[in-house]
Structure 1
Amino acid sequence: MPDLSPEALAAVTAEIAAVAPEYDRTGEIPVLGLQAAHRAGLLTATVASRYGGPGLGQIDTARILMALGEGDASVGLLAANNLMTHLGQAAAAHWPEAYYADYLRRGLDGPALANAVRAEPELGAPARGGLPKTTARRTADGWVLSGRKAYATGGTALAFHVVWAVADEPDGDPQRPRVGHLIVPGDLPGITWIDTWDHLGLRASNTHDVEYTDVELPADAFVEIPRGPDGVYRDPAAAASAGSFGHPALYIGVARAARSAFVRYALDRVPTALGRPIATTERIQAVAGEIDAQIAQAETLLFGALLRIEAGDTTHLPQLSLLKVQIARSVIAAVNAAVAALGNPGLTRHLPFERLLRDVLCVRVHPPQEDVALLAAGRRLLGQ
């Protein structure tokens, strides 16, 4: 059981934050940050108790990801994908037993990462509709996977890929093929990484493209995603669920890091014309209050939603996508307020603010995105 006391989490945050700027500059996999999270037991905290794990739930997961995101958003993102993978297995054991056992064994020795690999260069984000071009062709022995994916966070650090694909089966319906995920060990022949990640933020997340060329897999590697009662496929990421609140949590951590950096800078900065720290001025005090207000709002929305679910209240479930939107707005506003108030110091790479701003802006890309969430909410409200 990992130590989730405020002191223990703060220590992990500090260790990760110490090396985050260098990984942001190089774009390399944040090995030292991941190792710190692993030593603290935070990468496997959601492994179910039936597998010998701590079996932590959504609220504790959010606390972990806030702490990791406060240290380094890239580490937080890699950890979020990993923790959500274990949470999914805890809810419904869909991995082949041998694969999941191997995944757990690797996690004993060091950081062992898995992630859903879903987006494609032509299609874009799956949450906006459509079917993947990537195919899993049925053979006598299992499956052969082929296709190219984009934005595969984790890169070569991934021990397992969970690849979204269409089933190509001799007896299948070509008009309505089965759609699902294939559990793919990251060291199989036929997997080629293409270094495409050159991004504004999350630079150490290694979110590169990956190509699968005739990757052979066993029959039980395919996990079908059921179609709706009307026979229409709807992507699970098209609407938020409790399990998708890990990403907002890590960005709250980024906003918290900006708040701490703002406080330190305001206490240390003494302009000669002022003769005292800028923290003593009402202007900076008001900005600090605005930053704190935005973070308080984001945290309250996050934990309020999760606590209601834990208590059995489901009346707010249709609004979960909207809550993600509001959390995203709040964390961006918090970091932007810090940067805007400081002028040049807020934009220099010698200080953390510009990196934190670049990282927090990436909250917008996680599905469901703002326009999709607002449109769905409006249609629901208006009965359309």
Structure 2
Amino acid sequence: MTEHKAQDTFIRNEREAGIAKLADQLAVKLAERAPKHDEEGSFPFENFADLHQAGYLKLTVPKQYGGDEISLYELVLAQERLARGDGSTALAVGWHIGSMLHIRNTKPWPEALYAGFCKEVVNDGAMINHFASERATGSPSRGGRPGTTAVKTEGGWLISGCKTYSTLSPILKHFTLSAAIEGTDEVGDFFVRRVTATGIRIEETWDTIGMRGTGSHDIILHNAFVPDEAMISRSGSGANSQRIDDGNGWLLHIPACYIGIAYAARDFALDFARNYRPNSLPGPISELPHIRQQIGQIEADLITARTLLYTVADRWDQQPAGRIALKPELGLAKYIATNHALRIVDQAMRIVGGTSLSRKLPLERMYRDVRAGLHNPPMDDVVLRNLATRALEDV
């Protein structure tokens, strides 16, 4: 990883500088382990031990429970820099710290459950993720009814089904999931403690070309018991209908991750261009016009994506009343970031040349990792459709 002397223009104060420094220091450690976990497809438990020890896991927990209560802008700043070290770990932990920010703002959990879990995050390094994806329904953002079912029993619920893309599954002791409530048209969200619930197992299905270290396996549940007090909400209930809509700003942890990977690829290409001197040239390839053209394209894409990403995050922080109306811009920030990240890594590999295909260099891993961004929510077609709908309504 390259260490930059120039101040990042998106760091606006000492607090943000401290968050960036924390993420930078962690990214160095993650970068050292990334090739091994990518090759093996193994889960980086040691990375998460470092994240806990450094206090990263509690960044979005409220101050009243011992967290740092960082803003969305600060989350984006941290996640982008962490991803420069290892995209898989950054994306995986992003689901946790993003979820904690989302829960903090929308307040869907019963207070006692929320307060208790926040303390576990701070003291024990507990993490959370919500599992909704299933093979039969595809992405939950498309609105399919879960095939996972919740059956009422004495004192609680028996949950059965299979959840896919269950990121962080090897390490989570707690997770939430959505399940269809048997005998009704309702869907419930449940808080599951793996340490007390029986009938839960992980099927290690995650074997992909990119993001190989996220541990996004399948979780199989067979009559897993969840007590009544662990039901977070159910559709149609009064409490659920009053849930705060924050526009899902927390999902900006996704584009932040992919821009971080692209930034690392950019740095690698710049270092290569400055130092590679073939004997057919009087100086490094960075002096060649076509290489400078490619570097200029990388900078244009990177600056555009980062500017949009940080601007939208700041607007979300500063204008709580306008968060729902900001959804098209939140989606656009993800669309631009992921597609520009693909182009940036591609340009970086063109600069480095055939050597970039070597597994001894990080670029081929970065190339595979950024491809995953196309399949994280919101999808490109949804983003463009939402922008078109708003434009037509405005007219």
TM-score by length of 2: 0.87
Alignment pair present for 1:199 and 2:208: yes
> 1:62 Cα deviation (Å)?
0.7
Partner of 2:289: 282
> Residues 258 and 225 of structure 1: is their aligned pair in 2 closer, same or farther, counting only changes over 3 Å?
farther
TM-score by length of 1: 0.89
Between the aligned partners of 2:144 and 2:278, the Cα distance in structure 1 is 56
CA contact (8 A) 1:73 1:250 kept: yes
Alignment pair present for 1:341 and 2:351: yes
Alignment pair present for 1:364 and 2:374: yes
The 3-state SS of whatever aligns with 2:56 is coil
> Residues 10 and 179 of structure 1: is their aligned pair in 2 closer, same or farther, counting only changes over 3 Å?
same
Between the aligned partners of 2:176 and 2:16, the Cα distance in structure 1 is 26
Partner of 2:310: 303
Q: More displaced, 216-225 or 86-95?
A: 86-95
Q: More displaced, 88-97 or 194-203?
A: 88-97
Partner of 1:253: 260
The 3-state SS of whatever aligns with 1:203 is coil
CA contact (8 A) 1:247 1:363 kept: yes
Where do residues 110-189 of structure 1 align in structure 2 (5 Å cutoff)?
A: 111-168=125-182, 174=184, 177-187=185-195, 188-189=197-198
The 3-state SS of whatever aligns with 1:374 is helix
Partner amino acid for 1:151? Y
CA contact (8 A) 1:13 1:71 kept: yes
Between the aligned partners of 2:316 and 2:117, the Cα distance in structure 1 is 32
CA contact (8 A) 2:57 2:121 kept: no
The two structures, once aligned, show a CA RMSD in angstroms of 2.6
The 3-state SS of whatever aligns with 2:213 is helix
Partner amino acid for 2:316? I
> Residues 180 and 349 of structure 1: is their aligned pair in 2 closer, same or farther, counting only changes over 3 Å?
same
> Residues 42 and 151 of structure 1: is their aligned pair in 2 closer, same or farther, counting only changes over 3 Å?
same
Partner amino acid for 1:72? D
> Residues 98 and 322 of structure 1: is their aligned pair in 2 closer, same or farther, counting only changes over 3 Å?
closer
Between the aligned partners of 2:170 and 2:110, the Cα distance in structure 1 is 21
Alignment pair present for 1:26 and 2:40: yes
Partner of 2:9: none
> 1:130 Cα deviation (Å)?
1.5
Partner amino acid for 2:261? V
> Residues 225 and 140 of structure 1: is their aligned pair in 2 closer, same or farther, counting only changes over 3 Å?
closer
* Correspondent of 1:38 among 40, 52, 67: 52
The 3-state SS of whatever aligns with 1:343 is helix
* Correspondent of 1:62 among 51, 72, 76: 76
CA contact (8 A) 1:240 1:367 kept: no
Partner amino acid for 1:257? A
Partner of 1:108: 123
Between the aligned partners of 2:111 and 2:202, the Cα distance in structure 1 is 25
Count matched residues. 371
CA contact (8 A) 1:17 1:72 kept: yes
Q: More displaced, 10-19 or 203-212?
A: 10-19
CA contact (8 A) 2:72 2:314 kept: no
The 3-state SS of whatever aligns with 1:166 is strand
- 1:269-289 Cα distance to aligned partner (Å, 9 max, x none): 221222432222222222222
> Residues 96 and 328 of structure 1: is their aligned pair in 2 closer, same or farther, counting only changes over 3 Å?
same
Alignment pair present for 1:268 and 2:282: no
Which structure 2 segments of 5+ residues have no match?
1-14
Alignment pair present for 1:210 and 2:225: no
Between the aligned partners of 2:254 and 2:167, the Cα distance in structure 1 is 13
Between the aligned partners of 1:212 and 1:107, the Cα distance in structure 2 is 28
Partner amino acid for 1:343? G
> 1:369 Cα deviation (Å)?
0.3
- 1:226-278 Cα distance to aligned partner (Å, 9 max, x none): 4599xxx9xx99x9631211111111111111111111222232212224322
CA contact (8 A) 1:191 1:215 kept: yes
> 1:99 Cα deviation (Å)?
7.1
The 3-state SS of whatever aligns with 2:335 is helix
> 1:40 Cα deviation (Å)?
2.2
> Residues 95 and 264 of structure 1: is their aligned pair in 2 closer, same or farther, counting only changes over 3 Å?
farther
The 3-state SS of whatever aligns with 1:341 is helix
Between the aligned partners of 2:60 and 2:19, the Cα distance in structure 1 is 17
- 1:291-312 Cα distance to aligned partner (Å, 9 max, x none): 1221111111111112222332
Partner amino acid for 1:278? I
Which structure 1 segments of 5+ residues have no match?
none
> Residues 164 and 5 of structure 1: is their aligned pair in 2 closer, same or farther, counting only changes over 3 Å?
closer
CA contact (8 A) 1:3 1:40 kept: no
The 3-state SS of whatever aligns with 1:246 is helix
Partner of 2:7: none
